[in-house]
Each structure stands twice: as C-alpha cells, then as structure tokens.
Structure 1
Amino acid sequence: MDHQAEPSRVAELELEAFGEELKAIRHHIHQHPELSFEEADTAAFVAAKLEEWGYAVTRNIGGHGLVGTLKEGASNRSIGIRADMDALPIRELTGLPYASKHDGKMHACGHDGHTTVLLGAARQLARTRRFDGTIHLIFQPAEEAGSNSGAERMIADGLFERFDCDAIFGLHNHPGVPTGTFLFRPGPFMAACDTVKITIHGKGGHAARPHLSVDPIVIASSLVMALQTIVSRNVDPTETAVVTVGSMHAGHVANVIPDRATLELSVRSFNDEVRQKLEARIRTLAEGHVAAYGGKVEIEVLRGYPVLVNSEAETEFARQVAVELVGERNVVSPFPAIAGSEDFAYFLQKKPGCFLRIGNGAHAPMLHNAHYDFADDNLTIGAAFWTRLVERYLPLKGAAA
C-alpha cells in the first residue's frame, strides 16, 4: 500500500461516520422533488451546504445550475465532477416515510442520490484537503428534459470558459446490479436518442364505405410493421440500433374513418453514421409507404442527446480508482453498452472524461418506476469514490498519482 492509500482509507471511515447525515440529506431532497427547469429550492439547498463547507459557489448557470469551486495548493490542474438534480413527473408509490411530498413528482431516477453522493465528497474534500489543484463540482439541472437540457444550457452559458476542467467525471446508479459495484465502458457507452413524429394524412369517411376513403389507420398499421425492417435489414448486424413505435393515435369512434393518424418513434444509436442512416431510412420508408396507399405524410425529427463516448485514458483511470477502493470483483469493465441516453454526453464532447455506473441493487425496481428508490448503501461508497478520484487526479506533491 502506497503512502496515499492509507489516508484514503481513513477518509472512507470518516465518510461512514457521516453516513446518517448523508441519508438525511438524500431523504430531504427525495421528499422535495423538482422537475426539470424548476430546481430552485434544490439548488439553494446544495449551494448552502457547499458554502458552509468553504466552497466558492456560482449560481444560475444555464438555469438553476451551480458550481462549487475549491482550490488547494499551487497546481494548475483541475477536475470537474457532475451530479444531476431534477426529478420526474411520476406519482410515487414507494410508501416510504420520506416519500415525495409533491404529488405527481418524484426522484424516480436517483438524482437525489447522485447529488448527495457528490455533497458527501464535497464535505470530505473540504475537511481533509488532500489534493493539489482546483475542484469544480457541477450540480446540473434538467437532465431529464430530453432536449435543450441542463448540460446544453450550462455549456452555452460558458461553463467551461468560466470553470476550466482538464477532465470531467459523472456517475449514475444502475438497478439490476448489486450495490457498490462499479461499471465502466470506454468508448461509446450510452445511446443517442431521437424522437420522430410521423403524421399520416388520409381521407376520412364512413366506416361502411371504406372504398371512398384513404384510411390512415390501415396505412399507419402497415407502416409500423415496415419500420421494423430498418434495423434488421438496413443496419450492419455488428452495430446496435433501436426503432420503437411508442405511440399511435387515430380516430375516436368505431364507425368513422379518420382523416389522419400519428406515430411517435424512439430511435437509438451508438454512432453518427448509424444515426444518420436511421433518419434517412425512416423518411424514405414513410414517404414511399404512405404514398403507395394514396396518403400524404409529414415527418418531424426531434434530435435528442448524442452518443455518450467515454475517453479511454480517463475511463481506465477511474476504473483503477474503483478497483483500489472496492477490489476487482466489484468492478465490471467493459460493461455492455446501454440503450438509454444521458446528456452528460455533451460534456464529453467538450472535455475528456468518464461517465460510470454504480449498481443500485440486484433486485431493485428499474429507473423511471413509481416504486424506485436510490440505495442509501451507495451514499458513502460513492462519496468515497469521488474523494479518492480527486485525490488521485490532483495528487499532493510527491504522492503517487
């Protein structure tokens, strides 16, 4: 064990002693969820904690975003670590004593836990100051927005010009894997996500006289099946892609053929070439298919988050820190690519870094589920990981990096 490892182990023991307070912090945030672009109270709560511990806090970055900065020593090196703060429009059904007090809003993705984990590390780093350089702790709003998100807005508001980072790191919990298990994947890790809305215009009429109509329901039904051929017949089998029709709406009563039908698609991909091909094939197939039935079509593509691509070096560095903390058997790398999306991808387009996952329980409810809850077991281990990562990335003079 090198001379840096022992102080880090002390830090972990200190964080365990702080565990009950971390639980109280998370439960407070969990009870008071705020949706994307509404995180004013959460941001104020976080800012007050950071200022209490000696951080310089800059508020209202790209909305309710904030950055807590702490500098120690003479090094010019810097690191950014991000946590998201927003909740989801879901009615909580956990029955927990600290369940949401805001009906129809809940922390169903664990952002309350991500925020608390980073606050735990913030407190420990401020207490021990076993680093040489500058820490920027980024608390981001509106990750769940889908487009024009908190990451985009913070970047547009000059995040990296005002708080330069040599590298940036982020974390998300992962139900289905035991708590305290760290999951890494270099390169493309999480998918790009786009939404496509297809409006089919037909000719309405009486259900008893279909020959006088152009039935958009028949067209839409046929198109749903045709769209399933895009991934199976137009995408290289060695690539991964998803085209899911998640919404189909047409008509109101049984005896009327409507004049239009709408489909909404969720489209996932892991590289830009496949992403472009999927859009082109959806357009060509929909236009030709609808025209063949005598209808007309409008196609609207809403670009969502890009592919999240982890840097090789920073991912390996973070993996080594996790191995040092929890041992090889509790670290999985490479973890399979995830078809979900994450706006941390925008940060990784600007800076090298790593987005990792931590298991939230082998049998825990899935994300975005009314019965979901972040595992409190991860609070101290997550805070210890961020603490150790900073100490390794910004080592004291003469210490092993």
Structure 2
Amino acid sequence: MAALVALRRDLHAHPELGFAEHRTAGIVAAFLSARGIDVYRGIGKTGVVGVLRRGRGTGVIGLRADMDALPMEDAGGQPWKSQHPGRCHACGHDGHTVMLLGAADRLAREADFDGTVIFIFQPAEEGLAGAKAMIDDGLFSRFPCDAVYAVHNWPELPLGAAQTRPGAIMAAADRFDIRVTGGGGHAAQPHLSPDTLLATSELVVQLNTLVARAVDPCEPALLTVTRIQGGFSHNMIPAEARITGTVRTFNPQVQDIIERRLREMATHVTAAQGLKAEVTYQRYYPATLNTAPEAQVALRAAERTGLRASVADKPALTSEDFSFMLQAVPGAYLWLGSAESRPLHHPAYDFNDALIPLGIRWFCEVVRDRLALKT
C-alpha cells in the first residue's frame, strides 16, 4: 500500500489537464502492462483501457477512473504539492486513478473471478466530456460491457461511509453565456446611449427568479450566475456586457423550460432598454442516472468491503461526465466518504490516502459480485 500512496502523491505533484494527461496515461499503461493486462492507449485522445480475462465466463464488467486535474493553483502545504503552476488535483482524480490501479493489481494476482474486467482510465472529466470522447472513439463497441461502475471521493460523508441511489445521483449541467450589445457612450450623457450595465444588472436579478417562477416547485433545479463582465473606465458606458452562469436539472423537460425562458427573458429585458441579447446555451453533461440493479450491486459491494453503505436521500446538483457512460451501458456511481478533508475543488484540497484500500476493495467486490467463480 505504501507504493500506491507514493504513486498517488506523485500524480498529485504532477497534475495534467484534460486531454493532456500524457504522463499519467503513460504511468497507467506501464502499470497495467507490467501485470499482464492487455493495454490500449489513445482512446478518446489520452484515455487508457486495460483488459483482464479469467476463466471461461462471458460476463464483462467495466470499472472507470478519471485522470485529469483542474486549472487552478494548488494552495496546499504538503510536500507533494503541485509542481506545475495553474494545475491542481483538487477533485481527487489522482486518488481515483490509483484506487483503480490497485484493484487491477489485486485482480490480476488473485484471479478470483470468471469473466472479463475492462479498466477504463478516462481523460478530461472536468468540463471537457472525456467520457463522451472515449465513447465516440469506440470505447463500448471495441470493449462491450454488461455494466460499468465508478466511484468518487465525497467529503460530505465521513470516512468509512458510502452512498448511492437508483436513478438520479448527479445533475445535468448546462452553461449559458449572454452578450448584451447596442449601447456605449459617455457616463455623463446617459440620455444619449442605452445603458448596457443597467440592463445586464436587471437581467441578473430576473434570472435569479426564473427557477422559482417557471419550474414546478416539486422539481429540483438550480440557476446560478457566476460571472458578470463589462466596462473599462469610470466615465464610460460600455458598448457591451456579458453574463455567464450554470443551470442544473434532473428532468429534460425542466431543462427545456429553463433554456426557453432564459432566452425569452434575455431578449425582453434587454429590448426594454433598447439593447440586444445574444444567448449561447450549452448542455454539456446530462444527468447521471444509475440503473437500479447496478446501484444495488454497488451498495452490496460497499457492505462487503466493510463500509457503512446506505441509499442516498437525494442526488447532488454537481455533475459528472460518467453520465455519458451510463447512457450507453447500465451501471452505477458511488460516493465514497472521505471526510475530514477540504471540499472538492478547494485550492488546498488533497485526496485522503486512507481511501485507497477502501476503493480497491470496493472495485474488487463489484467484480466478484458480477463475475463470481462458478462452483
């Protein structure tokens, strides 16, 4: 286990952004190959797949880990702090990678299953849809799976706890960008020019009422404005301003309502000020939806691992591109408690190494559950 902890910390010190995980992919490929696992590289640009076959069983189970880091500074104080400015493993993908490598090592040595395991090391989870890139590059046509499973460390749960649920576990994630144009002039002559900042400010306020007034209160949904840009001088009304934000939903019909109303709102609010709004709306990750039988497998495996397994009361409004894999293949996504630790995406976050043996055992128990040896 000490070697795996050292590897995790090495990956933390050398984070790589989405579709640039060349060093990480090389380490993964070499690790798998050294254990007699068939290795396939370059799937979805920098993705790596390992294939391990045992016995005569026809069952095939996929296990997935993400490899990429975030574009942010590492504010941690540990010796294995990121050595690369502007890159940080602040979501624990270094730990996910090592847990799956540890499971591959154990399954290759112990061989206590009958069938095939597909180890999926995915690039670019953080907003770049690396899972979709792997699927588009033939992941499941080249390596068909009966089911696929993934785990994510979860600081909101205590160490030793695990949760998942049938159905929605993570939200769909959309991004909107609104460009307001048609103004520009001297700040001392507001009567001669439409005020882009006034219209943009009004639009921000109205957007924050959209979910409450357009969506059924029983439907979970969220809209958050995350960026407002406009202006260069204290005495100038800018010619344009921009708004950026995110929408999170679980129901595609609610997603449709919010997009339509957002476009209408942007058009009408700005038009009332004599301006125009250009809206770009991107649905970049669908909701992560577990299939019920596979969610039960994930919870059973957690119990056999010795974890305090339970059904989550509600899904999270964070998003995950494992959702694309679950659209293609049945499967489940598990939260593995990691507290006490910093929140995910915090600049001083560091993966809790105590999770490594728990994650390894969970992956292995999933395989044993689905590919049990015939007696």
Under TM normalisation by the shorter chain, which class is it?
over 0.9
**Which of 193, 197, 222 does residue 202 from structure 2 map onto?**
222
Alignment of 1:362-373 (within 5 A): 362=340, 364-373=341-350
Residues 86-139 of structure 1: per-residue CA shift (max 9 Å, x gap): 111111111101111112211111000000000111110001000000000000
The percent identity for this pair of structures is: 45
Normalised by the length of structure 1, the TM-score is 0.92
What corresponds to 2:17 in structure 1? Answer: 35
Structure 1 segments of 4+ aligned residues over 4 angstroms from their partners: none
How far, CA to CA, are the matches of 1:297 and 1:272 in structure 2? 25
Which residue identity is paired with 1:95? G
What corresponds to 1:186 in structure 2? Answer: 166
Higher mean Cα deviation, 161-170 or 180-189? 180-189
Residues 21-67 of structure 1: per-residue CA shift (max 9 Å, x gap): 21011111111111111101100101111011110001110101011
What corresponds to 2:184 in structure 1? Answer: 204
**1:290 lines up with 2:270 in the alignment:** yes
Conservation of the 8 A alpha-carbon contact between 2:155 and 2:337? yes
Structure 2, unpaired ranges of 5+: none
What corresponds to 1:396 in structure 2? Answer: 373
Give secondary structure in 2 for the equivalent of 1:177: strand
**Which of 230, 247, 260 does residue 227 from structure 2 map onto?**
247
How far, CA to CA, are the matches of 2:182 and 2:231 in structure 1? 12
* Count of paired positions: 375
How far, CA to CA, are the matches of 2:345 and 2:331 in structure 1? 26
Conservation of the 8 A alpha-carbon contact between 1:180 and 1:377? no
What corresponds to 2:289 in structure 1? Answer: 309
What corresponds to 1:88 in structure 2? Answer: 70
**Which of 333, 351, 363 does residue 355 from structure 1 map onto?**
333
**Which of 50, 60, 64 does residue 78 from structure 1 map onto?**
60
Alignment of 1:16-35 (within 5 A): 19-35=1-17
Q: Report the CA distance between 1:393 and its aligned residue.
A: 0.8
Which residue identity is paired with 2:71? P
Q: Report the CA distance between 1:334 and its aligned residue.
A: 2.2
Residues 247-291 of structure 1: per-residue CA shift (max 9 Å, x gap): 111111111111111111211111111111110010011111111
Alignment of 1:2-401 (within 5 A): 19-144=1-126, 146-147=127-128, 149-326=129-306, 330-362=308-340, 364-398=341-375
RMSD between aligned alpha carbons? Answer: 1.0
Give secondary structure in 2 for the equivalent of 1:304: strand
Which residue identity is paired with 2:274? G
How far, CA to CA, are the matches of 2:139 and 2:197 in structure 1? 48
Give secondary structure in 1 for the equivalent of 2:157: coil
Normalised by the length of structure 2, the TM-score is 0.98
Structure ranking higher in strand proportion? 2
Give secondary structure in 2 for the equivalent of 1:208: coil
Give secondary structure in 1 for the equivalent of 2:108: helix
Conservation of the 8 A alpha-carbon contact between 1:183 and 1:335? no
Which residue identity is paired with 2:356? L
Conservation of the 8 A alpha-carbon contact between 2:297 and 2:369? no
